[in-house]
Amino acid sequence: MNSTKVEFSFKTDVLIIGSGLAGTRAAISVLENSANLNVSVLSFPVRFRGSSSFSDFTNGWGLQYPISDEDKSTMKKDIINVGKSYCDEKLVDVLVENAALRVRELFKWGVKFRKTEEGNLYRFKGCFSTNPRDILAYDMDNLKNVFKKILSDSRVEYFEGWLVINIAQKENLWVTTAINNKGITAHFVSKAVVISPGGGAGIYRYNLNYPYNMGHGYRLGAILGLKPENMEFVQYIFGVIYNEYVRFLLNQKVISAARKIYDPHGFAFMKRTFGNKYRELLSERMTHAPFSCSFNDHEVDLVLFKKSRDNDFGPLEIRLDELDEDNIEKDIFLRTWVKWFKKRCKSNSLNFSHCAHAFNGGFLIKPDAGTDKPGLFIAGELATGMHGADRVGGTMLLSCMVFGEIAGTSTVKYINSNSFAESNTIDRFILGTSESGTFFGKDEIKHLTKELMYSNWKYISIIRTRKGLRSYLKYLNSLESYIEGTGVREEELYDFYNLLSTCVTSKMITEAALKNNRTVGSHYIEDGK
């Protein structure tokens, strides 16, 4: 790869990488705890647009917090039991103990939550919960406007359209290298860094993320030598496939109301496969949105996935005029969703598939959101420990609020308790040189990225085998060597780093899956224990 020219350097006190909920809450926390620290936010897309937390694909937030002080212990047990021993209990304690306080902030700031006809807060059982403690913020415009208002007159400076390509600590200052979509490269020098760029569900063919979520944060962790944890646990839920791309979350109750489900060739197969167990399994499956092999109903997911796989991973089909009318009449949310779908898509045919939604794995943080690197904090989907093999519904966005706030507070404490060197010399970051003398073209980069997304769906999604994982890891190692040995021109850097991040993140998942021979939670290994 060729070298990159640094166009300018920018100094700040706190650099936040990512403008989703976790990064936004961290920025607010810095402002709340300091009157003079400067805050800069590097955002790959436009703020409040490209992150999973502000995604139009799901169009709302589900958050969970204890019903009462007595319910705190029950919520902790839920998280740990569902996590199947892969959670850090200290982080679970922090999450639950801070939950109510962080959610009440959203009330105070003006976030709208769904209410009952009597005007009370509507609570329901989130996935894998024993108590109805989930609440729903249903208006994405309202959510975005609330945070825009809080930060509109603040001293937070946004750099939109910048992708981080390297990060290093020089003396006790952090130097972060980023490029924008015009090929300009810049150094951002800061006293502390909060990394919260979201997850990597975008590396899969079918996903419920924007195309920006290609695992860039996991690549940064690899650069820093951080050890990934729980990477085999990726959450897959049902999504609508519209023009080959996932556009929005499927109301899973549509599946339970479907009298027939068709494969890509138009053959109905569910009743033929399950016989009298069909309705019983579907009824249990509809109690949780994510795929999990912790319940007997995972048989439904395996059959659906195999039918899709056997037909070149084409989406499955439900015909809305064949839905059980009694089911629709009983459920106002299902009835509203079906009406909305018909109006939006102008179709009676609904194509769907499992979709990668979020990562339970990432980098293990400390209770103060810190790492072993001084001045480096992590929040959001990139942080792990509070989640395990499965994740209780409503706790991902909750962890963004809780550990985003903690990361900002800890950052201020770290800066106030340390003195920092003045560094005016910055080593130029070298991308590398092309050993072969060949350079990537834009078409080749995009082809390789698309091929990886398809291969990830085949080898490291719902069904995995040890033989397949071993073979895939060899391929990923050779691909990584090819990527690192091939040149890239500045105008191709944006697409190149999408490819590199996809490859690095895919390797992390494959390696973690190979190490864990136990079928558990969202990690199903067909020839494992």
Q: Is the pLDDT of residue 244 over 80?
A: no
Least confident piece of the model among 8-22, 225-239, 288-302, 429-443: 429-443
Averaged pLDDT for residues 209-225: 91
Helical ranges in 128-252 per DSSP H: 140-151, 216-224
Query: Which pLDDT does position 430 carry in this prediction?
Result: 47
Q: Tens digit of pLDDT for each residue in 99-119?
A: 999 999 999 999 999 998 898
Query: Which of helix, strand or coil describes residue 40?
Result: strand
Query: Which pLDDT does position 158 carry in this prediction?
Result: 93
Strands of 12-84 (E only): list them. Answer: 14-17, 39-43, 61-64
Of 226, 176, 181, 201, the residue nearest 17 (C-alpha): 176
Beta strands 39-43 and 228-229: pairing type? unpaired
Print the SS3 string covering 207-237: ECCCCCCCCHHHHHHHHHCCCEECCCCEEEE
What kind and span of H or E run contains 308? helix 298-309
Contact 317, 242 (CB under 8 A): no
Query: Which of helix, strand or coil describes residue 306?
Result: helix
Q: Give CA–CA dist 489/260, Å, rounded.
A: 51
Cα–Cα distances in Å, from 413 out to 190, 403, 406, 410, 472? 15, 15, 11, 5, 44
Q: Which residues of 439-469 are buried (b: 16+ CB within 10 A; e: fewer)?
A: ebeeeebeebbeebbebbbebbbbbbeeebb
Query: Which pLDDT does position 211 carry in this prediction?
Result: 76
Residue with tokens 């609020």: 401
Residues 6+ apart with CB under 8 A from 186: 6, 7, 8, 9, 10, 162, 177, 178, 179, 180
Q: Tens digit of pLDDT for each residue in 131-151?
A: 999 999 988 889 999 999 999
pLDDT category of residue 3 using cuts at 50, 70 and 90: very low
What kind and span of H or E run contains 192? strand 192-195
Residues 6+ apart with CB under 8 A from 118: none
Q: Which two tokens stand for residue 309?
A: 């796989």
Query: Which pLDDT does position 1 carry in this prediction?
Result: 46
Q: Give CA–CA dist 101/222, Å, rounded.
A: 34
Q: Give CA–CA dist 313/410, Å, rounded.
A: 45
Residue with tokens 């084409």: 314
pTM check: above 0.75: yes
Contact 15, 128 (CB under 8 A): no
Beta strands 234-242 and 349-359: pairing type? antiparallel
Query: Which pLDDT does position 56 carry in this prediction?
Result: 67
Q: DSSP readout, 263-275?
A: -TTS-B-HHHHHG
Least confident piece of the model among 28-32, 139-143, 367-371, 479-483: 139-143
Residues 6+ apart with CB under 8 A from 456: 203, 204, 205, 502, 506, 509
Average pLDDT, the chain: 90
Q: DSSP readout, 62-113?
A: EEE--SSHHHHHHHHHHHHHHHTT-S-HHHHHHHHHHHHHHHHHHHHHT---
Residue with tokens 């049902």: 238
Contact 429, 117 (CB under 8 A): no
Query: Which pLDDT does position 432 carry in this prediction?
Result: 42
Query: Which of helix, strand or coil describes residue 400?
Result: helix
Residues 6+ apart with CB under 8 A from 517: 466, 525, 528, 529
Instruction: Classify residue 338 by its DSSP letter.
Output: H
Q: Tens digit of pLDDT for each residue in 64-92?
A: 999 999 999 999 999 999 999 999 999 99
Averaged pLDDT for residues 37-51: 83
pLDDT category of residue 242 using cuts at 50, 70 and 90: confident
Contact 238, 337 (CB under 8 A): no
Q: Tens digit of pLDDT for each residue in 260-285?
A: 899 999 999 887 888 778 778 888 88
Contact 186, 9 (CB under 8 A): yes
Q: Tens digit of pLDDT for each residue in 333-375?
A: 788 888 888 888 888 899 999 999 999 999 999 999 999 999 9
Contact 380, 400 (CB under 8 A): yes
Query: Which of helix, strand or coil describes residue 398?
Result: helix
Q: Give CA–CA dist 248/416, Å, rounded.
A: 44
Residue with tokens 């406007």: 145
With a pLDDT cut of 70, the percent of the chain lying above it is: 94
Q: Is the pLDDT of residue 406 over 60?
A: yes
